[in-house]
């Protein structure tokens, strides 16, 4: 082959290769043109692990050594992590974190630099400023709630159960004695109420005076002096057909409206006061001139209550409120089963304005509609709403009224109160809503404060709020279960729930929320029911009154 032929051959080969390349290029270009562009990246949180727990954005009972992994849908731009992940206390204080990355930067791993506090809330926020390596922002913010575990160490030195009960009574007594309104001696509604005093809570306070004297917290002379001040106020403050209002100004004795239409007589609050006054009267010594004069004053106060007026025109029911401005506007019948049995009992004891058996049966008992008879957790409930309702139902009326042998055609009231308390206990122990902390040692649902305001907590209205007063005041009915709760509240949670006047009102471990409030209607049952459990003192005193016996007999009770 000569040189020209070789050149022609190479030229033809080159043209062939070039053509082949062009065809390939066209093919490749055509294929690329047909491929869709990469889909937009959906950068989101796939899963969060907190101390190996996952599946939720709320973590309870977590270890104090905080360890968290956030699983992302794509690799993260690590430079955006530190400014986008915020770990803070409930009050908003930001805590430093040690941050690292795993699995080709698709997992963020972080830990706190020091242990967390027990029973505290922390908030983890993963902001949308977090970006992927491709520059896409997190589609939505991740918000995580963390509640740390209980510190089970004792907060106070161990003492005997008997000493502990005395301590609770003595500390709680201070609310009614040391913190009483200085002008009138009445109990303030709560520890932030200023001059507002409460009729019902003060009735509990009168009974607490007896316990204070008997336990040596104050002298008898001190107790008599305080009673004298209270009786003077009760005789001169606002009354409406003999009934005191729910709230009063402790300086002036004038009504403080409870609500717009509740600015007059409150018969239920009045009945709590009358229960206390009758119990105190039975405690006083008629052979002592000073104390006998107090007895006469108590009788005058009690006989002035016009229970028959509160039948609202002669109906066979008592009514809760009457207003000098709005009359019967509230139109609220006093019906059971609830905390108002004592209202019908003291109304039947009246020698001046009594009620008949029919008023009790058609009013409170609703002609038998209060009967329940169902079982809950294999525990029979004779009367009342499903699961029994809040525990104050079986406490307020029975600070003086002795339920141990009390029965009528509707119920045996000892069985009712014991079983009501056991159902409440068993519900909390079973914990069907899986609330943090509920157990055989941490139980008690009743009407108290909560993180959102105030509610009548019960198995049928369980918001995760435990109220020490519920289990403490049930001690006469459930001594073992209540004592277990008392030890837990005092020794384990004492740094959170114990203060100047005993146990605070309530707490919610699910929110790491602790009430700082004291309410007279919650403190009173504690000191009184502990005493009834220990000595039956208040039960014996109230039941010794001849008019109480006559009233119970009239209503059809055996006792």
Give the tokens for residue 489. Answer: 């509240």
What does the domain layout of the chain look like in residue ranges?
45-148, 161-555
| Three state DSSP letters for 315-368 | CCCCECEEECCCECCCCCECCCCCCCHHHHHHHHHCCCCCCCHHHHHHHHCHHH
CATH top class, domain 161-555: mainly alpha
**CATH of the structural domain 45-148, one choice from 3.40.50.720, 3.30.450.70, 1.20.1090.10, 2.60.40.1220:** 2.60.40.1220
pLDDT of residue 366: 98
Per DSSP, the residues of 213-236 read: HHTTSS-HHHHHHHHHHHHHHHHH
- Under a CB-based contact definition with an 8 Å cutoff, are residues 258 and 454 in contact? no
- Which residues lie closer than 8 Å to 223 by C-beta, 6 or more apart? 209, 210, 212, 213
Question: HSE on the CB side for 278, CA within 13 Å?
Answer: 28
- Rounded to whole angstroms, the Cα distance separating 409 from 361 reads 10
Nearest to 75 by CA among 152, 15, 151, 132: 132
The structure's pTM equals 0.91
pLDDT of residue 38: 59
Q: Where are the alpha helices (DSSP H) in 473-511?
A: 479-487, 494-497
CA 504, 506, 510 angle in degrees (round to 5)? 135
Residues of the chain predicted below pLDDT 70: 1-40
- Rounded to whole angstroms, the Cα distance separating 381 from 388 reads 7
């Amino acid at each position: 082959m000569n040189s020209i032929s070789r050149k022609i051959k190479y030229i033809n080969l080159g043209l062939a290769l070039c053509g082949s390349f062009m065809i390939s290029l066209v093919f490749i270009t055509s294929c690329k043109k047909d491929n869709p562009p990469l889909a937009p990246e959906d950068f989101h949180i796939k899963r969060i692990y907190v101390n190996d727990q996952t599946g939720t954005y709320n973590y309870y009972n977590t270890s104090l050594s905080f360890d968290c992994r956030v699983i992302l849908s794509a690799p993260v731009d690590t430079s955006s992590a530190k400014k986008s992940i915020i770990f803070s206390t409930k009050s908003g204080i930001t805590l430093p974190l040690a941050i690292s990355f795993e699995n080709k930067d698709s997992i963020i791993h972080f830990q706190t630099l020091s242990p967390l506090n027990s029973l505290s809330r922390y908030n983890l926020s993963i902001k949308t400023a977090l970006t992927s390596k491709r520059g896409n922002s997190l589609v939505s913010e991740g918000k995580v709630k963390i509640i740390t575990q209980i510190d089970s160490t004792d907060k106070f030195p161990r003492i005997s159960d008997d000493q502990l009960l005395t301590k609770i009574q003595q500390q709680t007594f201070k609310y009614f004695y040391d913190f009483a309104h200085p002008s009138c001696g009445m109990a303030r509604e709560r520890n932030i109420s200023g001059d507002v005093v409460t009729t019902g809570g003060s009735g509990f306070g009168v009974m607490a005076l007896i316990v204070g004297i008997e336990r040596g917290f104050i002298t008898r002379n001190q107790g008599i002096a305080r009673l004298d001040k209270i009786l003077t106020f009760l005789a001169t403050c606002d009354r409406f057909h003999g009934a005191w209002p729910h709230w009063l100004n402790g300086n002036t004795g004038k009504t403080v409206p409870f609500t717009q239409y509740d600015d007059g007589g409150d018969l239920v609050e009045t009945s709590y006061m009358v229960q206390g006054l009758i119990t105190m009267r039975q405690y006083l010594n008629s052979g002592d001139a000073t104390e006998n004069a107090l007895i006469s004053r108590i009788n005058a106060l009690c006989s002035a209550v016009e229970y028959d007026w509160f039948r609202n025109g002669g109906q066979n029911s008592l009514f809760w409120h009457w207003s000098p401005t709005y009359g019967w506007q509230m139109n609220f019948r006093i019906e059971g089963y609830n905390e108002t049995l004592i209202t019908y009992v003291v109304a039947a004891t009246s020698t001046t304005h009594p009620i008949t058996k029919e008023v009790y049966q058609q009013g409170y008992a609703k002609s038998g509609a209060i009967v329940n008879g169902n079982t809950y957790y294999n525990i029979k409930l004779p009367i009342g709403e499903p699961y029994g309702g809040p525990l104050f139902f079986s406490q307020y009326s029975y600070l003086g009224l002795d339920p141990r042998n009390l029965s009528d055609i509707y119920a045996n009231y000892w069985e009712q109160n014991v079983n009501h308390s056991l159902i409440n206990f068993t519900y909390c122990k079973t914990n069907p809503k899986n609330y943090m902390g509920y157990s055989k040692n941490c139980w008690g649902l009743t009407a108290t404060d909560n993180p959102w305001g105030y509610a009548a907590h019960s198995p049928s209205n369980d918001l995760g709020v435990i109220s020490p007063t519920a289990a403490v005041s049930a001690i006469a009915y459930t001594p073992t279960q209540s004592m277990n709760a008392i030890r837990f509240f005092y020794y384990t949670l004492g740094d959170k729930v114990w203060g100047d006047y005993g146990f605070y009102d309530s707490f919610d471990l699910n929110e790491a929320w602790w009430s700082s409030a004291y309410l007279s209607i919650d403190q009173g049952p504690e000191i009184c029911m502990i005493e009834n459990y220990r000595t039956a003192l208040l039960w014996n005193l109230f039941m010794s009154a001849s008019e109480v016996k006559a009233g119970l007999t009239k209503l059809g009770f055996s006792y």
